[in-house]
A and B are shown apart, each in its own frame.
Chain A
Amino acid sequence: MKFHIPIFLITMLVNAGCNEGLQPISLEETGFGGTISFVSKLPPPDSLFDFRIVAVPYYPIDTTFTQILIKILNDSIAYSPSTIQTLDSGSIVRYKMLVKPKIYRYVACVQQYGPDSFKQWKVVGIYGFTTVNSAPSSVVVKDGIFTNSIDMVVDFYHLPPQPFKTP
């Protein structure tokens, strides 16, 4: 009998403290991510105004940049927040894109090389583009699934083919 109260108190205490710690936090993010490896020196500051990742559902060949801008405004092309603050030559940066579920046939890193944020952009890295494979790879994004390992390599001084048509 004399142990009943302590046992009751211990049971209550244990019960109150149960199942704490890590939780299976919701990961209902839809998108993709990976690393960007910078294999060259960064351009000088006067030619590096911004740096972003874009995901385009089609290969944007023969598209003017103005047309791309319109599509961005229509929300049919995804783009990342500016990542210029995290750039560092000879380093690896992790990125994350939360996008709508669809097939993105062209995922690329783009550099704003001049002060005109509407026109002065160029592609500096493409997902799937290597010295062996010169075609971009598609990224399939499904609802509620976050795909990793969409890694890209950026060399500011050896650019991949530029898709934009001069307006």
Chain B
Amino acid sequence: MKIILHYILLSCLALSQGEWISVSGKIVSSEDGNPIIGATVLVQYSTIGTSSDNDGTFFLKHIPASRKTLSISAVGFKTVTVTLTNEEKQEQTIQLTPSPVQTQDVVVTASKRAQSLEEVPVSMSIVDAKSFSDRNIVSVDDALRYVPGVNFQQTQINIRASSGYSRGAGSRVSLLIDGMPLLAGDTGEITFESIPVFQIERVEVVKGAGSTLYGSGALGGVVNVLTKDIPEHPLVWWRLYGGFYSPPVFDEWKWSDKTRFTNGQYAGFTERFGRLGIAFSLHRVSDDGYRDNDWLRRYSGYVKMKYDFSPYQSVTVSTNIFQQYRGDFLWWKDVKNALHPAEGQQNATVTSLRANSSILYKHFVSEDFYFDIKAIHFRSNWYRDSLSTKRLDESISDAIVLDVQGVATVNQDNTLTAGLVWNGERIRSNIFGGHDGQGGAIYAQDEHKFSTDLSIVGGVRYDVQRVIGLQTNQQVNPKLGIRYHVAEGIALRSSLGRGFRSPSVSEYYTSTANTGSAAIVVSNTTLKPEHSWTYEIGMVQNYSGHMTLDMALYQSDFSDLIDASVGLDSSISKSAAVIQFKNITQARIQGFEMSCAANFLDQAVQWNVNYNYNWAVDRDTKTFLRFRPRHSASTNISYKYDLMTVGADFRYSSRIEQIDDKLVQLAPIMNGDERVPVYLLDVRINTHMLDLGLPMTLGFTINNLLGYNYVELIGNMAPPRSFVLSVEGML
């Protein structure tokens, strides 16, 4: 009771705290005085913030006189803090000093709180909003393909070789949206396409086990998608794009006389009405597909509302509804007919409706303590129709997560983060059955600064997960991390952490004969959780503000990895192979990762290069793990010349060494073992019309310029060369 009274008293005090300040201004580069677009301006220890407009200007009001320190950050610039005067209305011109690296960026995923990337003891990468529009990226997974240590089996993410290809059942990477998990309740898989890309502020990728803060699923890493805050000024934005795929270069692959088009339209607005801020957007994508029966239509709507009770308290409610209709191209007929689906897949379709709603209440009780209460509901409803059978497979799942977290600055040297989590799932499906599950967790983490150069992070989380009717899975996940600034511009980091993943309902209960093959899938309710230990040592070095080198060595030991076991069981079927998920793999992954970012010619040229090596071995069979490349590398370069920016992205990954031969044989996927290394080159030109008085950007992108033919997933030819023209603007 005393705590509640204390809380109410503090809230009243917060609401009644004195005078307000408003500030307007402009954020410019200290080198050339050019305005910086999209810089983040935050009032420290409050919920107030905005970002700079197209001309670098910003406006903030209702800043309490007691908290007049602004923190200004932008990608490519060093973060600065500015203390305002007591004047009621004031103007500021804020200069930011260029920095080619992201070491000054503020991130929120590594420790579940805002902190400088410099302080983080684990490997992290950031993809900013500009990358999405510059490259005309329409799905989050396309942006993540350029992150060092990340690669994909079609839409299934793999961070540092932690995942192979799980046939859509379970993910060893946890996906969050604004810090809240967004994994389907039935399959536990990630559906990147349902995330509204135009609302993305940035994407943070934490590599290595993250279960100490994020629980089950964060075995190989965490991807946190952070949406844009609502600015003070009204804003209307739109984007149109259209393009087409090159026809197949080989006559054998030609399957349609028509040009295959792709196009999309996005539009939205944000506005503040007093204390209420609203963001709303609509989105439509249509793609004819470069393969037979590989078309799609997507529609989505997004609403975000933020209400500031005071400068210290806010509540944010958001809803995203996504609907997709698409052809169901599972694998090719054969490599000679690589753009035709296999027999039985013609005219099959998948319809999915995914909706997530969340609420976030945040309260800065004092400069030393704040807490937030978050809840998210994610409904995933999909069904598959074949030509002859409607709703051949169908599933409806609901997942709810409630997270209460507090962050306290105990003293100058200690920051304590602690929280409680509850989650529940409800699944109704003709292939998974009807099942309910729930779980909970408690976690705490302390970050201790021994000096300005040395900090240590220690934490632990206890998780309980249970599908009703099955055994309860419990797990304690500790972690330890150290960050040490050896000298000016050089920092060392080291961490170890434990990860775990409770089996998804689909892994426990999938039971179907509709695999289109001589195989049936049977349930296995005796599955145990997967576990991992990850160790890492890394270094980041900044060379005179123009180049940064980041390197990491790591090792992950996985136990009880769940994989599909294919075999015969005459008690189940006399003639068909039996597929069942089992704990069958003990694995060790050792790797090296390097990334280098640099700029030249007064930042006109931006360049980075990344390389990742993985030695991923099954410790029982001594063979390389399936569906993982050993080498992957990428580089991109951009050059800004007058109004124009030209850029190129190149990506390489070595030939996948091991695939699932039994999947190839039993499906059967004809020529399923046909695969090659990946060499992918994308180029782009963007023309910024702002200097001509038009708040628009024109873009032209050629994806897969080399027309290189490759597969990311067996039996699935990747997109050929495509040409896309885009135009976007803001008012």
Spell out A's residues near B (CB within 8 Å): 14, 17-27, 34-35, 37-39, 90-92, 94, 130-131, 148-149, 151, 153
Partner of A14, one of B671, B706, B709: B706
Please name all residues of chain A whose beta carbon is closer than 8 Å to the beta carbon of B62 when the two chains form the complex: none
Q: Looking at the complex, which of B364-372, B426-434, B662-670 is the stretch in contact with chain A?
A: B662-670
Contact with A along B244-275 (1 / 0, CB 8 A): 00000110110000000000000000000000
Instruction: Answer yes or no: B168 CB below 8 A from chain A CBs.
Output: no
Cross-chain pairs A/B with CB under 8 angstroms, 17 sampled: A18-B706, A19-B249, A19-B708, A20-B708, A21-B710, A22-B675, A22-B709, A22-B710, A22-B717, A27-B335, A35-B518, A35-B577, A39-B568, A39-B574, A92-B566, A92-B662, A151-B518
Contact with A along B643-674 (1 / 0, CB 8 A): 00000000000000000001001101011001
Q: Closest approach, in angstroms, between the C-beta of A8 and any C-beta of chain B?
A: 16
Quick check: A92 and B336 within 8 Å, CB to CB? Answer: no
Name which residue of chain A comes closest to B677, CB basis. Answer: A21
Given contact pairs A24-B252, A151-B575, a sample of 9 additional A-B residue pairs in the complex whose CB atoms are under 8 Å apart: A19-B249, A22-B676, A23-B335, A23-B709, A26-B336, A38-B568, A92-B566, A94-B668, A153-B575
In the complex, A107→B711 CA distance in Å?
35
Please name all residues of chain A whose beta carbon is closer than 8 Å to the beta carbon of B576 when the two chains form the complex: 37
Partner of B705, one of A14, A23, A39: A14
Please name all residues of chain B whose beta carbon is closer than 8 Å to the beta carbon of A14 when the two chains form the complex: 681, 705-706
In the complex, A39→B706 CA distance in Å?
49
Q: Closest approach, in angstroms, between the C-beta of B579 and any C-beta of chain A?
A: 11
Q: Closest approach, in angstroms, between the C-beta of A58 and any C-beta of chain B?
A: 25
Please name all residues of chain B whose beta carbon is closer than 8 Å to the beta carbon of A19 when the two chains form the complex: 249, 706-709
Please name all residues of chain A whose beta carbon is closer than 8 Å to the beta carbon of B249 when the two chains form the complex: 19
Quick check: A92 and B250 within 8 Å, CB to CB? Answer: no
Quick check: B570 and A39 within 8 Å, CB to CB? Answer: yes
Q: Closest approach, in angstroms, between the C-beta of A78 and any C-beta of chain B?
A: 21
Partner of B574, one of A22, A34, A148, A153: A153
Quick check: A92 and B666 within 8 Å, CB to CB? Answer: yes
**Chain B interface bracket (under 10, 10 to 19, 20 to 34, 35 or more):** 35 or more
Q: Closest approach, in angstroms, between the C-beta of A82 and any C-beta of chain B?
A: 20
Q: Closest approach, in angstroms, between the C-beta of A155 and any C-beta of chain B?
A: 9
Quick check: B707 and A131 within 8 Å, CB to CB? Answer: no
Partner of A24, one of B253, B566, B705: B253
Quick check: A24 and B707 within 8 Å, CB to CB? Answer: no
Quick check: A24 and B670 within 8 Å, CB to CB? Answer: no
In the complex, A153→B665 CA distance in Å?
15
Chain A binding surface SS class: loop
Q: Closest approach, in angstroms, between the C-beta of A128 and any C-beta of chain B?
A: 11
Report if A90-B709 is in contact (Cβ < 8 Å); known contacts: A37-B577, A153-B574: no
Quick check: B665 and A94 within 8 Å, CB to CB? Answer: yes
Please name all residues of chain B whose beta carbon is closer than 8 Å to the beta carbon of A148 when the two chains form the complex: 668, 670
Name which residue of chain A comes closest to B249, CB basis. Answer: A19
Please name all residues of chain B whose beta carbon is closer than 8 Å to the beta carbon of A94 when the two chains form the complex: 665, 668
Quick check: B250 and A24 within 8 Å, CB to CB? Answer: yes
In the complex, A18→B246 CA distance in Å?
13
Give the residue among B335, B568, B574, B670 with the most A Cβ atoms within 10 A.
B568
Instruction: Answer yes or no: B422 CB below 8 A from chain A CBs.
Output: no
Partner of A22, one of B518, B575, B674, B706: B674
Contact with A along B697-716 (1 / 0, CB 8 A): 00000000111111100000
Q: Closest approach, in angstroms, between the C-beta of B666 and any C-beta of chain A?
A: 7
Give the residue among B249, B671, B706, B709 with the most A Cβ atoms within 10 A.
B706
Instruction: Answer yes or no: B679 CB below 8 A from chain A CBs.
Output: yes
In the complex, A22→B707 CA distance in Å?
11
Please name all residues of chain A whose beta carbon is closer than 8 Å to the beta carbon of B676 when the two chains form the complex: 21-22
Please name all residues of chain B whose beta carbon is closer than 8 Å to the beta carbon of A21 when the two chains form the complex: 676, 679, 708-710
Instruction: Answer yes or no: B334 CB below 8 A from chain A CBs.
Output: yes
Please name all residues of chain B whose beta carbon is closer than 8 Å to the beta carbon of A22 when the two chains form the complex: 335, 338, 674-676, 709-711, 717
Q: Closest approach, in angstroms, between the C-beta of B712 and any C-beta of chain A?
A: 12
Q: Closest approach, in angstroms, between the C-beta of A53 and any C-beta of chain B?
A: 16
Quick check: B574 and A24 within 8 Å, CB to CB? Answer: no
Q: Closest approach, in angstroms, between the C-beta of B314 and any C-beta of chain A?
A: 50
In the complex, A25→B670 CA distance in Å?
12
In the complex, A36→B335 CA distance in Å?
24
Report if A20-B518 is in contact (Cβ < 8 Å); known contacts: A92-B568, A92-B665, A131-B574: no
Partner of B706, one of A17, A131, A149: A17
Please name all residues of chain B whose beta carbon is closer than 8 Å to the beta carbon of A27 when the two chains form the complex: 334-336, 671
Report if A92-B574 is in contact (Cβ < 8 Å); known contacts: A17-B706, A23-B250: no
In the complex, A165→B374 CA distance in Å?
79
Quick check: A25 and B706 within 8 Å, CB to CB? Answer: no
Instruction: Answer yes or no: B567 CB below 8 A from chain A CBs.
Output: yes
Contact with A along B575-609 (1 / 0, CB 8 A): 11100000000000000000000000000000000
